[in-house]
Amino acid sequence: MPRLIAALDYAAGQHRDQRRKGAEAAPYINHPIALLRILAVEAGIDDADVLTAAVLHDVIEDCSGPQQECIAQRRAEIASQFGACVLAIVEAVTDDKALPKAARKQAQVAHAALLPRAAKLVKLADKTANVRDIANSPPQGWEAERIAAYFDWAQSVVDAMRGADAQLEALFDAALAHGRSARAST
């Protein structure tokens, strides 16, 4: 538990100036906390490395400043403070921001099936949280087509990971069904 609290503190510091894209512009730290809730409370996952990695899953990807220097520093900090296993999970779910957005999205689908199980758990929780957030508070300027495209893409990523955890997959499926239904009625 102390390591998980340290991870929350570290993530809160790294995301302190960030907001979610939704209309509510919630503090970004709410997103890693949502992953933690999905994994631990809703799916009953108790693997400390998975839970810690879920809290830290975006800290490398969301570097500001000199990119390579920042990434190297965050990797070193995660390894020293939270261990090599947590770092490996975080790296497995981190997008390569050097790629254009479309290529990053394609890479997520292509690599999803190849992820280690621990990384799949984090990725499943991430997609579930994102779909819930978009359904409940779509980003400013996102029209129905863009929301539908995001939902379709998220489903493609999750479909490539099927078999990793039935409970997490069911949570994603329920979030997606709710999201599609909510968007259809607006």
| Phi, psi angles (nearest 5°) of residue 89 | -65, -45
DSSP 36-76: HIIIIIIS----HHHHHHHHHTTTTTT--SSHHHHHHHHHH
Q: Are 35 and 125 in contact (CB under 8 A)?
A: yes
Contacts of 73 (CB under 8 A, 6+ apart): none
Q: Is 42 a catalytic residue?
A: no
Give the span between the Cα atoms of 110 and 11, in whole angstroms: 28
Q: Is 46 a catalytic residue?
A: no
Give the span between the Cα atoms of 126 and 142, in whole angstroms: 19
From 24, 42, 46, 62, active-site residue = 62
Give the span between the Cα atoms of 172 and 160, in whole angstroms: 13
- The residues annotated as belonging to the active site are 61-62
